[in-house]
Amino acid sequence: NAGVMQNPRHLVRRRGQEARLRCSPMKGHSHVYWYRQLPEEGLKFMVYLQKENIIDESGMPKERFSAEFPKEGPSILRIQQVVRGDSAAYFCASSPPFGGGQGNQPQHFGDGTRLSIL
């Protein structure tokens, strides 16, 4: 049962380093979403991608954060020059292509990557 796979599960970085988080969507899913969960908070949308395209990045911080979903391989969320405030759980979700109407396709979540900044 290949669900959404995220790795690593835990990632520790020092301030100023780069963090790379990977997400492989469920089989047959071509849409990927990234969310961030700060302690005691709900999930906040960051970015929505389809293969080779960023569709909505309205939740992405303007600097240091980037995301990609190449034709081959997993989606990558990259955080450059990490700071303490980047410590959070980062969740990836995927959904199949939209059918007759958007909004009816649920998103399936991975177990997340817990990023800690020293």
Partner 1 sequence: GDSVTQMEGPVTLSEEAFLTINCTYTATGYPSLFWYVQYPGEGLQLLLKATKADDKGSNKGFEATYRKETTSFHLEKGSVQVSDSAVYFCALRNQAGTALIFGKGTTLSVSS
Residues that bind partner 1 (CB under 8 A): 4, 6, 33, 35, 40-45, 48, 55-56, 58-59, 91, 93, 98, 102-104, 106-112
Specify the 3-state DSSP secondary structure of 92: strand
For residue 67, which of 75, 25, 59 has the smallest C-alpha distance?
75
Q: Nearest-CA neighbor of 93 among 43, 39, 57, 53?
A: 43
- CA 66/CA 45 separation, integer angstroms: 14
Q: Which is nearer to partner 1, 4 or 115 (CB)?
A: 4
Output the smallest distance, CB 23 to partner 1, in A.
Answer: 11
- Decide whether 52 or 56 has the Cβ nearer to partner 1: 56
Of the pair 38, 83, the CB lying nearest partner 1 is at: 38
- Identify which of residues 59 and 64 has a Cβ nearer to partner 1 in the complex: 59
Q: Least distance in Å: CB of 81 to partner 1?
A: 26
Please list the residues that pair with 27 across neighbouring strands: none
